[in-house]
Amino acid sequence: MSSRAPVGASNRQELFTSSRRPDPAAAPAPAMVEEEREVSSVLQLEHMFGCSNAGRNSIAMHPHDENVYVRTLENLVSIENLMDPMSQRLLRGHDMPVTAVAFSLSGNYIASGQIGTTNFKGNAAPIFIWRYSDGRRQSLLKGITERVNIIAFSTDERFICACGDDCLFYVWDLSTSEVIYGVRLPSPASVVKWVEHKKVGQYMQYELVLGYGNALFKCALTYDPSRVNWVMKQTPYTMSPSGSVVRNFLSIDLSPDTSFVYVGSSGGEVLVFKRDVGVFRACVPVCGSGCHGVAALGNGDVVCAGGDGSFKRIQGYDMAWQLVLDVRTFSLFFLSLFQLCTYFYFLLTFYLFPLYSTPFLVLSRPWSAVRMTMKC
């Protein structure tokens, strides 16, 4: 957050140059000169790996390149490529661990938010806007404190919204970096998704889906010329009768035609809502330990990532849905089948050749370890 120049060995050029004065009488051979250049050159960082679990939104995929993604590495933001493990661009500027990242709809901009800084008063948690093309920081957004939990760009990339642990929900204008709307929510927002923008009269109107606590809202952001400011009207979605079950929202996505809203809950279900009328349509149980990821594919199928380590693909429309693929069950089935065959093979070998059965006993143990690892 500070604009001061970083202090470190990278800014001290004398550390990488020799303090000895060259002797003109002793001229080294050309081969020795080349060798000295290679030895005295500064070592460059080729790749950095690791994981930062500071926030649930700590990774984001490029909207138009399925191999490019951005993730957090403590105080750094890393742009990487799935096809090239050595391709890595690090964005530096945060002074605290990064907790949330997001791509704009065109993929031209990246937003990153952090934990509230302890280096300055106020515990401010700024949001940085980066250009994807060259990795340069374009703007700095202020207002949130303590911690940034979620960030989202508008569909026309004119606005950006975010919310943190302080329950403050802000909308900034990216052209001026000024706050155009702000409100304190009853609880921190857990999901947010910009739906569309359209011109109503002389001004633009934006629609987004906002969820906090166990409630989901259809929000309309419009400009009020009489008040000369932006206002946001929240209309609650009708929820399913859950009785004593309390659901918190963990993930959200839209259908390809934006007619349905898919929301993953802490109960491991995918809730389906009709967007235009704001009505609940279906509750699809998919996994355990919460549905932490929901992604709608181009053909209408929905991929769900569960907290139990499972990836499932459901297919359907409106109120009718069915499970078409369960990656974890598929893998464990063949792993258990191979382990069972190995076990019977060991028993047969032990019965026929008791003196040569030790190697088979050793081979059967790693599969049990792998299976236990997949269960965890």
Model confidence pLDDT, tens digit, residues 106-119: 999 999 999 999 98
> What is the C-alpha to C-alpha distance for residues 347 and 190, in angstroms, rounded to an integer?
53
Q: Is 48 helix (H, G, I), strand (E, B) or coil?
A: coil
Can you give the pLDDT at residue 235? Answer: 95
Count CB-CB contacts under 10 A for residue 182: 15
Q: What percent of the chain has pLDDT over 70?
A: 72
Beta bridge partners of 81: 68, 84
DSSP 90-140: EE---SS-EEEEEE-TTSSEEEEEEBPPSSSTT-B--EEEEETTT--EEEE
Can you give the pLDDT at residue 345? Answer: 53
Q: What is the pLDDT along the chain (376 residues), one digit of tens a residue?
A: 444 444 444 444 444 444 444 455 555 555 554 555 554 455 556 566 666 666 788 899 999 998 999 999 889 999 999 888 788 899 999 999 999 999 999 999 999 999 999 988 889 999 999 999 999 999 999 999 999 999 999 999 999 999 999 999 999 999 999 999 999 999 999 999 999 999 988 999 999 999 998 899 999 999 999 989 999 999 999 987 765 567 889 999 999 999 999 999 998 999 999 999 999 999 999 988 889 999 999 899 999 998 888 889 999 999 999 999 888 644 444 444 545 555 555 555 545 554 443 333 333 333 333 333 333 3
Structure tokens at 28: 């080294």
Mean pLDDT estimate for the chain: 80
Can you give the pLDDT at residue 15? Answer: 41
Residue 159 phi/psi, 5° resolution? -120, 165
Can you give the pLDDT at residue 86? Answer: 81
Structure tokens at 228: 């000369």
* Rounded-to-10 torsion of CA 9, 14, 19, 21: 150
> What is the C-alpha to C-alpha distance for residues 293 and 368, in angstroms, rounded to an integer?
29
* Fold entry, domain 46-189: Methylamine Dehydrogenase; Chain H (2.130.10)
For residue 335, give Cα distances in angstroms to 192, 288, 330, 366, 369: 39, 21, 9, 11, 11
Can you give the pLDDT at residue 344? Answer: 54
Is 0.85 topped by the overall pTM? no
